[in-house]
Chain A
Amino acid sequence: MTLKTNSRRPVKGPTPGLWARYRAYLSRTGLSPSASNYFSIGVAIAGVGLTLGPIIYLVLGGFKDLHQYAMNPSGLPDPFLFRNYWGILSTGLFWRQMLNSAFIAIVTTVGVVILGTMAAYPLARYKFKGREVLYGVFVAGLMFPLTVAILPLYLMIHSWGLVGNPFGVILPQIAFALPVTIIIMRPFVAALPKELEEAAFIDGVTRIGYFWRILLPLARPGMVTVGVLAFIGSWNSYLLPLLILAGDPAHMTLPLGVTAFKGQHGSDNTAIMAFTSLSMVPALIFFIFMERRIVEGLTGAVKG
Chain B
Amino acid sequence: MANKKRVIALTALAASAAMLLASCTSNDTSASTSASAAPVTLTWWHNAIAGADGKNLTGDYWQKVADDYTALHPNVTFKIEQIETNDLQRTRIPAALQSGDAPDIFQAWGGGEMVQQVNAGYLMDLTDKIPAAIKELGSSAAGWSVAGKQYGMPYTFGIEGIWYHKSLFDKAGITGTPKTMDELNADVTKLKAAGVTPIAVGASDKWPAAHWWYNFALRSCSTDVIQASNTAFDFSDPCFVAAGKDLQAFIDTKPFQDQYLSSKAQQDPTSAAGLVGTGKAAMELMGHWELGQYEGFQADDAAKATLDADMGWFNFPATSSGAGDPTAVLGGGDGFACYKDAPAECADFLAYLTSVDVQKGFAAIPGNLPVNPGAADQIASPQLKQLADVRASAGYVQLWLDTYYGTNVGGAMNDGIVALFGGTGTPQGIVDGMTAAAATQ
Contact = CB atoms under 8 A, between A and B. Distances in A.
Interface of A: 66-67, 69-70, 87, 91, 151, 154-155, 158-159, 242-243, 246-248, 259-260, 262-269
20 contacts: A66-B297, A87-B53, A151-B95, A154-B91, A155-B95, A246-B84, A246-B91, A259-B84, A263-B84, A263-B85, A265-B52, A266-B267, A267-B266, A267-B267, A267-B268, A267-B273, A267-B293, A267-B296, A269-B267, A269-B268
A67 B299 contact: yes
B266 A264 contact: no
Given A69-B269, A266-B266, A267-B266, A154 B95 contact: yes
B277 to A, nearest CB: 8
B204 interface: no
Nearest to B81: A247
Task: Report the interface size class on chain B.
Answer: 20 to 34
Nearest to B292: A267
A247 B274 CA distance: 28
A263 B47 CA distance: 10
Interface stretch (B96-104, B139-147, B319-327, B374-382): B96-104
B84 A260 contact: yes
Contacts of B95: 151, 154-155, 158, 243
Nearest to A155: B99
B268 A246 contact: no
A interface secondary structure, majority: helix
B92 interface: yes
Given A154-B95, A267-B296, A247 B45 contact: yes
Contacts of B261: none
Given A155-B98, A158-B99, A243 B268 contact: no
Contacts of A268: 296
B278 interface: yes
Contacts of B278: 70
Name which of A69, A159, A266 has the most chain B CB atoms within 10 A of its CB. Answer: A266
Name which of A158, A246, A266, A267 has the most chain B CB atoms within 10 A of its CB. Answer: A267
B83 A247 contact: yes
Contacts of A248: 81
Nearest to B268: A269
A61 B267 CA distance: 15
Nearest to B94: A151
Contacts of B92: 243, 246-247
Interface of B: 45, 49, 52-53, 81-85, 87, 91-92, 95-96, 98-99, 101, 266-269, 273-274, 278, 293, 296-297, 299
A70 B269 contact: yes
- Interchain residue pairs A-B with the least CB separation, the first 5: A267-B296, A247-B81, A158-B99, A70-B269, A263-B84
Contact of B296 (A91, A154, A158, A266): A266
Given A260-B84, A267-B266, A267-B274, 8 more contacts: A91-B52, A243-B92, A247-B83, A263-B49, A263-B85, A266-B266, A266-B296, A269-B269
A91 B54 CA distance: 13
A159 B99 contact: yes
A18 to B, nearest CB: 56
Nearest to B88: A246
B365 to A, nearest CB: 16
A264 B81 contact: no
Contacts of B297: 66, 70, 267
A247 B82 CA distance: 6
Nearest to A239: B91
A267 B274 CA distance: 8
Contacts of B267: 262, 266-267, 269
A66 B269 contact: yes
Given A69-B269, A70-B269, A246-B87, A264 B52 contact: yes
Contacts of B268: 267, 269
A215 B87 CA distance: 45
A264 B266 CA distance: 12
Nearest to A91: B52
B234 to A, nearest CB: 31
Given A151-B95, A247-B45, A158 B101 contact: yes
Name which of B92, B268, B278 has the most chain A CB atoms within 10 A of its CB. Answer: B268
A97 to B, nearest CB: 14
A154 B93 CA distance: 12
Name which of B83, B84, B101, B293 has the most chain A CB atoms within 10 A of its CB. Answer: B84
Nearest to A69: B269
